[in-house]
Amino acid sequence: MPTRNTFVFGIGGTGARIVRSLTMLLAAGTKLNDTNKIIPIIIDVDADNADTSRALAALKTYKYIRSHGYSNTEEIRDGFFNANLNTLSSITNENDYSEGLDDSFQLQFENLEKSFIEYLDPRGELVGDINMDLLEALYDNSSHDDPNTELNLKLNQGFKGNPNIGSVVFNNLSNTKEFKFVLKSIGENDRIFIVSSIFGGTGSSGFPQLVKLLQQEEKLRGNKYGALTVMPYFNVTDDSKSAINSDMFNSKTEAALSYYLKYLNGKINCFYQLWDRPLKQYENKQGGIEQKNSAHLIELIGATAIIDFVNKPDGNFASKGQTQYFDFGIKKEDQVIDIRHFYPNTAKTVMEPLTLLTYAMKVYLETIPDMRNEAFFKELDLGDKIPNNAFYQNLTAFLSIHYKNWLVEMSGNERTFQPFNLTQDLNALVREKPIEVKKVLGIVTKPGISEAFLKTELGKLEDELKKSIPDQDKRFFKLLNRISMECYKKLEALPSMI
């Protein structure tokens, strides 16, 4: 049994969105080598950020499905939701110092329900003091009443693209009980991965601060560190009332990269960088429940960086004090990207599991509910369980809300990622690779993935699995895995470019 854990810190909105994509890839069954647990820790001061909320909800649902879809004694090596994506508090059994820790994927800051100046000077002691002059020289306070000026920004709404504020607040991260627990619970073989954007406020300031805080601990200096920095891949609309201005994205990126080069070089073993020409202009939302950016291909690719880092054998890292830099490329520049655009390794490790989960999603949501009269449906008591049982409710929520929406959002974003024809039947599901349906004299001789095929396979598989898996829910979960593999056999192989 592998004992290595990987702690994945997702900082800010982009960090949360990439953790969301990671959740989808792991739900699809992307394999992780020699890894016990993946501990995602989302760090976002913007408590109501919709991107963060969605990522947290997906993680919570993932955790529930995994814990109920497999038995505790089973060693889970493959299949949907096989990776042990878990909360910080799940490592309680191994360590005794987690008292009072929430069972949450989020790391909470304290005392952020105030403006930046109130945070720095809670008792108003600096009024008229020379230090206030210094603060006003460093931070914009041009209009005392304007909540968008730097000193007046409400901190629990995020740093709104101001890393100079974030770096101050992030210094206090080390005082939170969750972070203290993190420091204690990272073992010598564990790996640490930090995801952030470079062009906003929270991620760009949080990343170097987090590295600094972690490596202040002597015992954590020998761990393997990976980081993903996402450079601008979208713009926001101009809004004079907003503190966020995408004209500043490139200059902020340049400044942050110079800083990283100077202060982080050699401290991170694997440095992954992602960038795309911004094609999409999002609405300028400063944070909170309104900041709900659609999922983007870049975030999926960002999640593959985490997989790459987690699966890297120990011997493949550069020697201590050296940083390896990684970029990601696709075969061909296009506006609409599908499975054919990826190189074989990504196709095999990421696109194949996604295809399997998409087959399972369609079968579960669209086909199985119409099979009430089939024996497998009755044997598994699905008529009662699908609407009423918590496991099935979570599975439905994950597939119909989290996973499907994630695919739909990417297919509507720019650059468009459209690997599947979600509205078409199972034979036409994989874009650019329809399963051929053969007819002779108008009679279908090779129907591909037909309803009859699914009924036959579901019945046979359920009968086979019943011998080894007595529990109905766990058997159904395995059945979903197996039926997607049968569908994949009909597809034969993923599409590729000629």
Partner 1 sequence: MFEFLYELLCGQNPDPIFASDIYPFVGLFTLVFAFVFTLVFYIVLGRSKPIWDKTIHWVITMIILLIIAFGFAYNHAQTVTEEEENSFFYTFAMVNTLYAFIYYILFSILLKRFSIFAKRTPF
Residues that bind partner 1 (CB under 8 A): 373-375, 378-379, 452, 455-456, 459-460, 463
Minimum distance from residue 372 beta carbon to partner 1 (Å): 11
Q: Which is nearer to partner 1, 331 or 378 (CB)?
A: 378
Q: Which is nearer to partner 1, 50 or 368 (CB)?
A: 368
Spatial CA neighbour of 354 closest among 420, 299, 432: 420
Q: Which is nearer to partner 1, 348 or 372 (CB)?
A: 372
Minimum distance from residue 476 beta carbon to partner 1 (Å): 16
Minimum distance from residue 454 beta carbon to partner 1 (Å): 10
Q: Which is nearer to partner 1, 433 or 490 (CB)?
A: 490
Q: Which is nearer to partner 1, 333 or 463 (CB)?
A: 463
Minimum distance from residue 459 beta carbon to partner 1 (Å): 5
Minimum distance from residue 389 beta carbon to partner 1 (Å): 19
Phi first, then psi: give them for residue 127, nearest 5 degrees.
-60, 125
Residues 110, 115, 121, 125, CA torsion sign: negative
Minimum distance from residue 198 beta carbon to partner 1 (Å): 56
Minimum distance from residue 99 beta carbon to partner 1 (Å): 51
Minimum distance from residue 445 beta carbon to partner 1 (Å): 15
* b/e code 11-36 from CB counts within 10 Å (16+ = b): bbbbbbbbbbbbbbbbbbbbbbeebb
Minimum distance from residue 456 beta carbon to partner 1 (Å): 6
Q: Which is nearer to partner 1, 375 or 444 (CB)?
A: 375
User: Distance (Å, rounded) from C-alpha 53 to C-alpha 71?
Assistant: 29
SS3 for the chain is CCCCEEEEEEEHHHHHHHHHHHHHHHHCCCCCCCCCEEEEEEECCCCCCHHHHHHHHHHHHHHHHHHHHCCCCCCCCCCCCCCCECCHHHHHHCCCCCCCCCCCCEECCCCCCCEHHHHHCCCCCCCCCHHHHHHHHHCCCCCCCCCCCHHHCEHHHCCCCCHHHHHHHHHHHHHCHHHHHHHHHCCCCCEEEEEEECCCCHHHHHHHHHHHHHHCCHHHCCCEEEEEEECCCCEECCCCCCCCCHHHHHHHHHHHHHHHHHHCCCCCCEEEEECCCCCCEECCCCCHHHCCCCCCHHHHHHHHHHHHHHHCCHHHCCCCCCCEEECCCCCCCCCEECHHHCCHHHHHHHHHHHHHHHHHHHHHHHHHHHCCCCHHHHHCCHHHHHHHCHHHHHHHHHHHHHHHHHHHHHHHCCCEECCECCCCCHHHCECCCCCCCEEECCEEEECCCCHHHHHHHHHHHHHHHHCCCCCHHHHHHHHHHHHHHHHHHHHCCCCCCC
Residue with tokens 């360590």: 95
Minimum distance from residue 463 beta carbon to partner 1 (Å): 5
Q: Which is nearer to partner 1, 142 or 373 (CB)?
A: 373
Q: Which is nearer to partner 1, 184 or 455 (CB)?
A: 455
Q: Which is nearer to partner 1, 17 or 475 (CB)?
A: 475
User: Could you tell me how far CA 474 lies from the centroid of its own chain?
Assistant: 25
Q: Which is nearer to partner 1, 308 or 457 (CB)?
A: 457
Q: Which is nearer to partner 1, 261 or 452 (CB)?
A: 452
Q: Which is nearer to partner 1, 208 or 448 (CB)?
A: 448
Minimum distance from residue 376 beta carbon to partner 1 (Å): 8
CA geometry: angle at 455 spanning 449 and 457, to 5°? 75
Minimum distance from residue 482 beta carbon to partner 1 (Å): 15
